[in-house]
Amino acid sequence: MQLSGRQGESGIINVQPLREQIYAYLRDDINKGNLLPGQLVNTSEISRSMGISKTPLREALIQLECDGFVTILPRRGVMVNRLTLSDVRESWEICRAFESEMMNRLFHRIDASCIENMESINNEMKEAMAEKDTDRFYHLNITFHDAFLSLSDNHQMLRILKLIKQRLYDFLSRSCIPEWETVNCDEHEHLIELLRSGNRESATAFLRDIHWSFEKQEDHIRRFYKQASKEEVALAGE
């Protein structure tokens, strides 16, 4: 597949650097389950199948490794990293710390328009849940949080959050636990109520102690992890 100079749906030629196009392409393959955790991928095969030279591919793979998605194994290839429960816990704790802190700092910027947008996104999440569209549900979930996070000027914190959520998303979007999705939407509704009431401390505490608390969500996470792991094994055997 030729990537350089690709024309998008809008008719605009993609002028991203080739390494960034390859990075995005491989990220999408990981997200869709075309490249499975623990799977060894031959770089020569990737280069040949994508119609690209090894130099931009190597640059993209190095960036993927820096971001935690793969591990480059000399003379063996590239392995897609498996997200362990410990990884999930650590990622959850970082999101918990960052988002609650940003809620506290950004509270005065979250106006009625922002709150209405969050409510609209949460309603779309409910629609996606009803349609069993897990992929759309988790895209919208990220969009919901970005509605207030995007008000921040702390680009480093936003970049770290984005990377962590991308890894979590690759894991979470593989399966569906309806009860957890319902809890997620209900918690979003409660957060919206706290924002409307103008209660900064309660909104911050809710994100920190409930919504992003690994302990509060652990039963759902463990159930999800068990189901997702079984599906990985099944896909690997196909």
| Predicted confidence (pLDDT) per residue in 171-208, tens digit | 665 567 788 899 999 999 999 999 999 999 999 999 99
Residue-level pLDDT at 230: 58
Residues 93 and 47 in one domain: no
Indicate whether 3 belongs to any domain: no
Indicate whether 61 belongs to any domain: yes
Residue-level pLDDT at 232: 52
* Domain extent for 42: 18-80
Tokens read off for 181: 């999705």
pLDDT band (50, 70, 90) for residue 238: very low
Indicate whether 152 belongs to any domain: yes
Q: How many domains, in total, are found in the chain?
A: 2
Residue-level pLDDT at 84: 84
Beta strands 40-41 and 77-80 are: antiparallel
Residues 140 and 226 in one domain: yes
The contacts found for 147-151 with CB under 8 angstroms, 24 or more apart, are: 147/114, 147/117, 147/118, 147/121, 148/102, 148/103, 148/106, 148/109, 148/110, 148/114, 148/118, 149/99, 149/102, 149/106, 151/106, 151/109, 151/110, 151/114
pLDDT band (50, 70, 90) for residue 124: very high
Residues 26 and 124 in one domain: no
Indicate whether 11 belongs to any domain: no
